[in-house]
Amino acid sequence: MSALEIYVVGGAVRDTLLGQGDAGDLDWVVVGATPAHMVSLGFVPVGSDFPVFIHPNTGHEFALARTERKTAKGYQGFSFYAAPDVSLAQDLARRDLTVNAMAMAAPSNNLADAAQWRNWQPNATAALIDPYNGLADLQAGVLRHVSHAFAEDPVRILRLARFAARWPTFTVATDTNQLMRHMVDAGEVDALVAERVWQEMSKGLMAAQPSRMFEVLRNCGALHLLLPELERLWGVAQRADYHPEIDTGVHAMMVMDMSARLNANLATRFACLCHDFGKGTTPPDVLPRHTGHEMRSVHLLKDVAQRFKVPKACKELADVVAKEHGHIHRCKDLSVPALIRLLERCDAFRRPDRFSDVLLACECDARGRLGLADTPYTQAPWLQSLLAAASNVDTHAIATLAAQAPEFAQQKGEWIATHITAAREAAIAGLV
């Protein structure tokens, strides 16, 4: 057997060259080894038919250098070849982007003593193996596919899109965008598994400029297959007095980027994404008004959440924001009873932390408009002050009073609810 060679590949190398600090988990590739040899050294295979092994002492994953061949549509339709004669360059050739197809040699080629370099991190002074000019593309800010093998895995479209959101100044190479369009036309996107779509989409939502992810997906034709609810927003007019940007799709992207600017969590960003879906189904003769779009948005986001198996917390927050964002924007025009009902519909008394996320999503909506990015959203602190005042009502005392009064036995629950609501209204009356 030829001498073993061990390399760090992929994202850790890329991020080191970008100067982005700790490279995090490392992807190790072993050239010149067989599965039997890895097992003889105590490595544990992660599965019976995949050449990845766990180091017995460090827990690090080591993959044998391999090539892959497409056997069916989708990201699971692959066969692979892993043998000592597979070179590092061949292994790197199967990767998605040139910026992810670089490697650095490990400080030791002794697999048995891997514990000695368990804390090693790649560094900018280490020798770079770069057969596909990834460094040049990294320096130029270009996302480019390594080879036509990119077209064999539709997940790579999503990965590239969320990389674009992570590095907003990076551009997509023209030939790479053309290749992605060919993939869409060939039906590869139709074979994507829901969990993988959400995995990549959620990472893109949490990136520095989420709008870039959707821009890339839209440019290659994938967005109308993955998220037609979002795609149809472009070209739909809104009232200019409320939305100086006019175009609903443009507004949606401004809201997404505002959610990143305000460091919103994933659930809040998903709510921002979905809050205006219903405007894409407004009858043309009604435009630019969008009466009733809130409930249409609710129905559409439920379809999206089910399609991609979105976490429950994300779905529930999006539901509240879609239903209530208009009322929250106009809250200062509401009566005292209407304000209490609004807080109750938002479940603000039981879930004040989630209510804060609801308000943040509404702030993103309000400030995600042309010329309004720096306008204070006064509704949020005002509603928080009302919630604080109403929450000071002693609901336990009201319930105790009802329990001690036999005449209320038949209507105790209704009596308690009515008196709690009245007490909360009295508590906020002086603030309205």
β strands within 10-50, DSSP E: 27-31, 44-45
The three-class DSSP label of residue 81 is strand
What is the rounded distance in angstroms from the CA atom of residue 328 to the CA atom of residue 356? 12
pLDDT tens by residue, 181-222 = 999 999 999 989 999 999 999 999 999 999 999 999 999 999
What is the rounded distance in angstroms from the CA atom of residue 122 to the CA atom of residue 20? 12
Supply angle C-alpha 231, 233, 236, rounded to 5.
140
5-147: CATH number: 3.30.460.10
**Is residue 163 scored above 70 in pLDDT?**
yes
**Is residue 388 scored above 60 in pLDDT?**
yes
Where are the chain's structural domains? 5-147, 155-377, 392-432
The three-class DSSP label of residue 420 is helix
pLDDT band at 407 (very low <50, low <70, confident <90, very high): low
Backbone phi and psi for residue 282, each to the nearest 5 degrees, phi listed first: -65, 130
pLDDT tens by residue, 262-290 = 999 999 999 999 999 999 999 999 999 99
Q: Is 103 exposed, middle or buried (0-12, 13-18, 19+ CB in 10 A)?
A: buried
What pLDDT shows up at residue 42? Answer: 85
What pLDDT shows up at residue 116? Answer: 65
127 or 2: which leads in pLDDT: 127
402, HSE (Cβ side, Cα atoms, 13 Å): 18
List the single range of 114-118, 154-158, 242-246, 299-303 with lowest mean pLDDT: 114-118
- Which residues lie closer than 8 Å to 308 by C-beta, 6 or more apart? 194, 195, 197, 198, 201
Judge whether 248 and 237 are in contact, CB under 8 Å: yes
**Claim: this prediction has a pTM higher than 0.85:** yes
CATH class of 155-377: mainly alpha
pLDDT tens by residue, 344-357 = 999 999 999 999 99
pLDDT tens by residue, 102-129 = 999 888 788 777 666 667 777 777 789 9
Q: Could you identify the residue written with the tokens 């659930």?
A: 267
The three-class DSSP label of residue 238 is coil
Query: 63 forms bridges with which residues in the sheet?
Result: 29, 52
Angle of helix 352-367 relative to helix 248-261, nearest 10 degrees, comes to 130
Residue type at 185 in one-letter notation = D
**Is residue 60 scored above 50 in pLDDT?**
yes
**Is residue 418 scored above 90 in pLDDT?**
no
**Is residue 1 scored above 50 in pLDDT?**
no
118 or 337: which leads in pLDDT: 337
pLDDT tens by residue, 168-182 = 999 999 999 999 999
Residue type at 292 in one-letter notation = G
Q: Is the peptide bond before 337 cis (omega within 30 degrees of 0)?
A: no
How far CA 110 is from CA of 29, 51, 62, 116, in Å, comes to: 13, 19, 13, 10
What is the arithmetic mean of pLDDT over 33-50?
84
β strands within 98-208, DSSP E: 103-105, 128-129, 142-143, 171-172
Q: Do domains 5-147 and 155-377 have the same CATH topology?
A: no
Judge whether 215 and 173 are in contact, CB under 8 Å: no
What is the rounded distance in angstroms from the CA atom of residue 216 to the CA atom of residue 10? 22
What pLDDT shows up at residue 24? Answer: 63
Judge whether 183 and 189 are in contact, CB under 8 Å: yes
What pLDDT shows up at residue 22? Answer: 58
309 closest CA partner among 184, 214, 193: 193
